[in-house]
Amino acid sequence: MTEQASVQQDQVDQLIKLIADLVDTDPCWYDHHGYCQAHFWMATEPRCPHARAMEIPEVAATLEEED
Ligand SMILES: [Zn+2]
């Protein structure tokens, strides 16, 4: 790995950890508009960021490690 790629990987690792700390692992709860009431997300596009964060494999793996 080049030095620049290594720095970028470190930044990605930091972001993954940050997202894992921010994400609420409680399940989303969508109302009839498709808005997430559990996380007060009033949009359908993009979907609730908590749902999207949990779909990132690295984030899910980080959360499992912390359990
Ligand atoms: Zn949600």
Q: What is the mean pLDDT of residues 48-66?
A: 95
Structure confidence at residue 54 as a pLDDT band (50, 70, 90): very high
CB 66 within 8 A of CB 19: no
Predicted TM-score (pTM) of this structure? 0.84
Report the separation in Å between the CA atom of 35 and the middle of ligand 1, taken as the mean of its atom positions. Answer: 8
Report the separation in Å between the CA atom of 30 and the middle of ligand 1, taken as the mean of its atom positions. Answer: 8
Tell me the per-residue pLDDT of 34-45, one tens digit each, with 9 for 90 and over. Answer: 999 999 999 999
Q: 40 — alpha (psi -120 to 50), left (phi > 0) or beta?
A: left
pLDDT of residue 50: 98
Report the separation in Å between the CA atom of 6 and the middle of ligand 1, taken as the mean of its atom positions. Answer: 33
CB 20 within 8 A of CB 63: yes
What domain range includes position 48? 3-66
Q: What percent of the chain has pLDDT over 90?
A: 94
pLDDT of residue 48: 98
Domain count, the chain: 1
Burial class (CB in 10 A: 0-12, 13-18, 19+), 20: buried
